[in-house]
Amino acid sequence: MKGRRVAVTGIGVVALAGVGKDAFWKGLTSEAPVGFREIEDWDASPYFDNPKDARRSDRYTQFALAATAEAIEQAGDINVDPARRGTFIGTGIGGIGTLETQIEVRLNKGERRVSPFLVPMMMPNAAPAAVSMRYGWQGPCEATVTACAAGTHAIGNAARAIADGRCDAVIAGGAEAPFTRTAIAGFANMTALSNSGVSRPFDSGRDGFVMAEGCGILILEEWEMAVERGATILGEIMGSASTADAHHITAPAPGGVGAVTCMQLAMEDAGVDPADIVHINAHGTSTDKNDAAEAEAVAKVFGTDGGPLVTSTKGVTGHALGAAGALEAVAVLLAMQHELVPPTAGLIDPDPELPAINIVSGDAAPWVPGPSLSNSFGFGGHNGTIVIGTGA
């Protein structure tokens, strides 16, 4: 990434696999659950001083505040001009839970009973707005809404704001809470969801994605500033790219053309070659067309003779839509910390129709951490890739 280097100094995560980075890592290397990845016992109260404030925040905003609290605590004191501290949080469908609830209120009780907090709770920018207000970060505050690529795009855009000199620190990631009856029905009726409730990325028996919720947050800083204040550097955002398939509203471009270009541009931005990449956290949704297109794209860029270790952590986490890329960026950084690449849970019978890329299955794979890709490919043809380095 041309310009200033971008360090990662904090990580926060909320997911069914684990609330908090330590629990999340344990979940990534444990047996996968079956069914929707919904956090049934979620309690937002620890993250709010006033219970009313919790009730006036959509669930996806609550997730963002919780994950940011953990990331900020790890990063430590970032004492720079508030106007040079930004907030970039992506989402696919924002406060859809609030929207559906208030529609039911209107239909059952009348228009005058609709909450005056409907709009500020449902808007896609509610999460970054709440986070920026909580911490007083007065720089750019933006919501990226690019379907399942939103979290990855938010991190890439945030890193660029630092590299270009606009910001010195940015809270970046993605948040999603999609579990409403209407949203589930919509995905089910488009035959995108798994009937079995098992996420099987790249497996011959894959039958659709398993919907999830959660949030991943990274604290990004200008490298020299992080070094000077004695922060622990967890990794580096080396580069990023964004492309469009311009093909179909839900299906990826045949042959993974857009994904190929996206990965190539991200590596070019990072100043690395395909031979330098040692790990890919794949989008790997467990849908027929996505996994096929991504496997072909990876084979075109990296070949089928060895190549980087590939995993889809969605086998455990499910697909958290706009939060997926952020959760997967967290997974890459934790894989570097633990020197293990989590296996692709659910992959038992690799699809023989797919190119033979180097997918990790069964047990976690030991590795020497190095430049890694995190891919996200969303409905509408949105492609996002970030290059994450160890920061060495």
pLDDT at 305: 80
CA 308 to chain centre: 20
CA-based R_g, the chain, Å: 20
Residue 284 forms part of a structural domain: yes
Closest by CA position to 162, among listed 239, 220, 205? 220
Residue 184 is assigned to a structural domain of this protein: yes
239 is written with which tokens?
Answer: 């580069």
In which residue are the tokens 């399942």 written?
148
pTM comes to: 0.97
pLDDT at 294: 96
The full 3-state SS of the chain, as one line of letters, equals: CCCCCEEEEEEEEEECCCCCHHHHHHHHCCCCCCCCECCCCCCCHHHCCCHHHHHCCCHHHHHHHHHHHHHHHHHCCCCCCHHHEEEEEECCCCCHHHHHHHHHHHHHHCHHHCCCCHHHHHCCCHHHHHHHHHHCCCCCEEEECCHHHHHHHHHHHHHHHHHCCCCCEEEEEEEECCCCHHHHHHHHHCCCECCCCCCCCCECCCCCECEECEEEEEEEEEHHHHHHCCCCCCEEEEEEEEEECCCCCCCCCHHHHHHHHHHHHHHHHHCCCHHHCCEEECCCCCCHHHHHHHHHHHHHHHCCCCCCEEECCHHHHCECHHHHHHHHHHHHHHHHHHCEECCCCCCCCECCCCCCCCECCCCCEECCCCCEEEEEEECCCEEEEEEEECCC
Query: What parts of the chain have a pLDDT lower than 50?
Result: none
Q: What is the pLDDT of residue 249?
A: 86
pLDDT for the residue 255: 84
Residue 1 belongs to a domain: no
Query: What's the CA gap between 328 and 103, in Å, rounded?
Result: 33
**Would residue 224 count as lying in a domain?**
yes
Residue 200 lies in a domain: yes
- Name the residue type at position 38: E
Residue type, 72: I
Give the angle 239-240-244 at the CA atoms, nearest 5°.
160
pLDDT at 204: 97
- Range(s) of the domain holding residue 358: 6-389
All residues at 6 or more sequence positions from 111 whose CB lies less than 8 Å from its CB, including other chains:
none
Q: Give tens-digit pLDDT for 282-329.
A: 999 999 999 999 999 999 999 988 899 999 999 999 999 999 999 999
Domain count, the chain: 1
Whether residue 140 is contained in a domain is answered as: yes
Domain membership flag for residue 273: yes
Say how many CA atoms lie within 13 Å of 253 toward its Cβ.
17
List, for residues 70-112, the tens digit of each pLDDT value. Answer: 999 999 999 999 999 999 999 999 999 999 999 999 999 999 9
pLDDT at res. 391:
81
For the four alpha carbons of 372, 360, 329 and 9, in that order, the dihedral sign comes to negative
Task: Kindly report the CATH number assigned to the domain that includes residue 180.
Answer: 3.40.47.10
Indicate whether 321 belongs to any domain. yes
Residue 254 is predicted with a pLDDT of 84
Mean pLDDT of the chain: 96
Residues forming the active site = 148, 283, 319
Strands 141-144 and 85-90: parallel
